[in-house]
Amino acid sequence: MFLGAMAGILGTGAGGLLLSVVRRPKGWLLSFLLAFSAGIMLAVVFQDLILEALALGGLTITLLGVALGVAALFFMTLTVGEKRLSSTGLIKTGLLLGFGIALHNLPEGLAIGAGYFASQDLGLSLALALCVHNIPEGMAMAAPLLAGGYDRTQAVLLTILAGVPMGIGALAGGLLGTLSQRTLAGVLGFAAGAMLFLVFHELLPEAQDGTHHIAATFGAITGTFVGLIFLVLV
């Protein structure tokens, strides 16, 4: 549990810390960072979550998980209401994004726990890889929180909190050994659907709403590149 928690906390926390050097972004920088977050999330969804879910459970389970994730976030946004381009709206986006990241971290923690159960070396290598792997996700979460008015400490603490479920998953994985591949595929698909909804309903519309369309476009492209680099190299 400690190994998984440290991997999650240090990974997302480091990403939040990297973004915390930026004070409350405005204008073109706000558009760039929101789209940058969206680009990172798209890389995570299509280069990581969807591929893993397909490999574990096949197309039907993956699509079902994605659909449930989209539906869950849709009804959640109906509950909290629409507040775009305001401090409250940006904070809501950051918190919902943290929810999606936390969902993603739970099955990754299961992998660490199951790997450690099989071999300490395997568990340690998985934890290290996933720790670095979580850095761009922490960056993506921190951007709207900082833009919404949270100070650096608050933003970093919340990104750290999003990594905690990895420790819970690691404990469960160590105790149970493993869960069924179809269950893991469904959870990964659910997380992917939640993130996709946030990207297309929250991050990109907010980034493009204004006069800084070019900054938003290049922010999304840059975020996708950064996400792919982290995911492929780690």
* pLDDT beneath 50: ranges in the chain: none
The rounded distance, in Å, linking the Cα atoms of 173 and 176 is 5
**Domain containing residue 88:** 2-233
The pLDDT assigned to 174 comes to 67
| Residue that the structure tokens 């940006």 belong to | 90
The rounded distance, in Å, linking the Cα atoms of 195 and 125 is 26
What single letter denotes the amino acid at residue 148?
A: G
The pLDDT assigned to 83 comes to 53
**Phi/psi-derived region of residue 131, left when phi > 0, alpha when psi is between -120 and 50, beta in every other case:** alpha
The pLDDT assigned to 214 comes to 94
User: Contact, 103 vs 159, CB < 8 A?
Assistant: no
Q: Helix, strand, coil proportions of the chain in percent (round to 5)? A: 90, 0, 10
Domains held by the chain: number:
1
User: Contact, 36 vs 144, CB < 8 A?
Assistant: no
The rounded distance, in Å, linking the Cα atoms of 126 and 200 is 31
Q: At what angle do helices 87-118 and 152-176 cross, to 10 degrees?
A: 30
- What is the number of other CB atoms lying within 10 angstroms of the CB of residue 128? 17
The pLDDT assigned to 71 comes to 93
Contacts of 11 (CB under 8 A, 6+ apart): 130, 131, 132, 133, 134, 135, 137, 138, 163
The rounded distance, in Å, linking the Cα atoms of 145 and 148 is 5
The pLDDT assigned to 6 comes to 83
Helix segments in the chain, DSSP class H: 2-19, 27-44, 50-80, 87-118, 120-133, 135-147, 152-176, 181-198, 204-208, 213-233
